[in-house]
Chain A
Amino acid sequence: MRLNEKALIRKSILELCNTGLPRQESTDDGIRTIRERGSEKEENLWEYIVALGAQLSRPPFDPYREKIKLTTKIGRKGDQKISLKIPIFIYGELDLSQSSKDALTLALNSLVDNRSTVGLISKDEPCDERKYPHFQLVSNISKISDPDGIVLEYTGIKTEEKIEKIRKEFDGPILVEVDEDFAHYTTRLLGLGVDGILVNTDNITKSEKYERKHAIAVIHDAKLAINEFYRGKENDGACLVVAGDVNNAGKMIKAAGLGADVIGYDTSLLIAKVGHHSENFFDEEITAQKIFNHMIATKSELTGIPAAIGYSDFHNLSPSDFRTSSIKASIQGDIPLEGVDKTYRNIVAEILEEYVNTKNISVNQQEKQKIINLVIKEEN
């Protein structure tokens, strides 16, 4: 965690103590503002997206009485799948202190014991006492040390050669952390037998390609890239892991609706959330208990919200379960607009269709798409 992010957490707590008044901004949003300072991204599009509650034609489930499913299988091959009971990977590149790592291991093992398995993605060698699935983040394939899964960072065509090599020797799931050009090569990766892709929205929205776009555009585009591989055939379970700007249950639910199968929860934020007040006296067991409690609370939120929308499975959320008041959010996430229940793209397409018919102009489908894309680019 960066120093200014750490300071923000401390400041926001002190502010609360001094004034006793509720804060204007959440800690997550404060950190996001710091991370995006200097860029042109001013709007937090997450805030313009709301979920449609259950209704007469779509009654809610009772999460106390009816079992709401969160389980996610990672892996496309039948017998090699890794199961997560909560669709979360603790993920981050932070160099944690040994005591923080020990607390994390304790917490993750307790979660497994309580049928709430969460995965871990880290560069470290998997520890022997682990009960949870550890996906090793590797750049050098000679340093792979018996993990449950592998995460490779995409660095160009060489990564594809590495995948071919690893696939011959490693039966477990392989994920690839992609860059902003994922649309060009995701189909090839899945063709090589990769089990899913990981997008870090914080990194990708910093790229030139996504300069003026939000995390929701990255998630939406990544899902489209996976779907492209499955055009004309049944999806055999390739998953989309989304990390970055998805560090609370509300965003996780919205990300799932846009296509995320698993969420990469920032390790640094997790440790900061549960351990910030005990820096001088870091107790592994207390911290582990706090991590455990935090994950169980997140699990409750992840089951409760889909149930209230009318789903018994977290993974059944789709963009049609949300509405947005922002044209940008509608364009970037293909989410229907409030009041009209249509996406901005559909509205433009309908107006164009009507215009073409009224004026009796001959325009083919390809040309229509070009015009729609042009209008949308102007608005976005």
Chain B
Amino acid sequence: MCGICGLMMDDSNLRHSPVGSVLQDMMESQQVRAQDGAGIAIFDKSNAGDSFKIKNFRKEGMSDYTIDEIDSSSENVSEKLQKLRQDPECHFFSFENEMTILKETGLAKDLDKKYGIRKMNGSHGIGHLRIATSSRVTPYNTHPFSTTIIPDIAIVHNGEITNYNMLRDSLELEGFTFYTDSDSEVIAVFLASRILKHGDIERAHREFVAKADGPFTYIAATVDSIAIVRDKFGTRKGIIGYNPGTNDHPPFWAMATDLSALDVVGATTKIETPHPGKPRIFYRN
């Protein structure tokens, strides 16, 4: 019973949009759903550049961990990633350019206290509240999940990918690396592998829905898109709303598990439920 949320600012002047603050409100309003972990991914154009950040948990444990941030020029980033894949001690965190991922075990308000989520700006973002059902309560099993295949892709997920083992086996056979034992990671790896193959995000989502089994809703964000996707039977919730904007913030599309999350941020117009099995995608202006 995890809680997920996401938003996309509907504005061309995206640099100073208060994405962190809106996401934090949406997460805290859904805290009742899950309390084992909280995490966000925020995309900010002003971070874009030639260097990448590779974050990596170095220690196992509930809270005792460190994050290695490696600034790499695009020339040697492949070499760094290759080393990471071969390191059995590695608990991969994220591969970032424009994107910033922050995640912790515990509550959403503690995540904000530690990292100042409310002060973060950007164009779009996603958030997650975790209740651990199938893998351990650790920071590296906390969402959002990212991959080393391509930078700036993040997913949050509510539900179960029941054929996770089969999908993971076939992706590993294709040569892609997994870093956790969470079923959610397979979504990120699958989408990234298909973006690498044909570059079409909508097709990648459709292919995932066709292959994935079980009850799920996920929100996935790339540099210029955010999508909410429900399983083909629509067995997990998901709702979308629109906030027309005020003097304090631009208009935005918001999506979440519970209606309460849309209510708390005023995204109460153009309410819709994504059609089961059909990705609903919003692109950055």
Contacts and interface: CB of A to CB of B under 8 A. Distances in A.
Interface of A: 56-59, 61, 66, 227, 230-235, 310-313, 316-321
27 contacts: A58-B162, A59-B160, A59-B235, A61-B233, A66-B233, A230-B173, A230-B174, A232-B173, A232-B174, A234-B170, A234-B197, A235-B170, A235-B173, A310-B160, A310-B213, A310-B214, A311-B162, A311-B213, A312-B213, A312-B233, A313-B163, A313-B213, A316-B213, A317-B166, A318-B165, A318-B166, A318-B169
B175 interface: yes
A313 B134 CA distance: 21
Q: Chain B interface secondary structure, helix, strand, loop or mixed?
A: loop
B215 interface: yes
Interface in B148-178: 160, 162-163, 165-166, 169-170, 173-175
Contacts, number: 52
Contacts of B163: 311, 313, 316, 318
A321 B235 CA distance: 21
B232 interface: yes
Contacts of B214: 58, 310-312
A66 B165 CA distance: 22
B78 interface: no
User: What are the nearest 5 A-B pairs in CB distance?
Assistant: A316-B163, A57-B133, A320-B165, A318-B166, A310-B162
B258 to A, nearest CB: 19
Contacts of B213: 310-313, 316
Contacts of A231: 173, 175
A59 B166 contact: no
A230 B169 CA distance: 12
Given A312-B232, A316-B162, 5 more contacts: A58-B160, A61-B233, A233-B174, A318-B163, A320-B165
A357 B55 CA distance: 28
Nearest to A56: B133
Interface string B85-129: 000000000000000000000000000000000000000000000
A258 to B, nearest CB: 12
Interface in B193-248: 197, 213-215, 232-233, 235
B230 to A, nearest CB: 14
Given A227-B173, A231-B173, A57 B166 contact: no
A131 to B, nearest CB: 27
Question: Could you say which of B163, B165, B170, B233 has the most chain A C-beta atoms within 10 Å of its C-beta?
Answer: B163
Interface in B229-283: 232-233, 235
Contacts of A234: 170, 174, 197
Contacts of A235: 170, 173
A256 to B, nearest CB: 11
Nearest to B183: A57
Contacts of A310: 160, 162, 213-214
Nearest to A57: B133
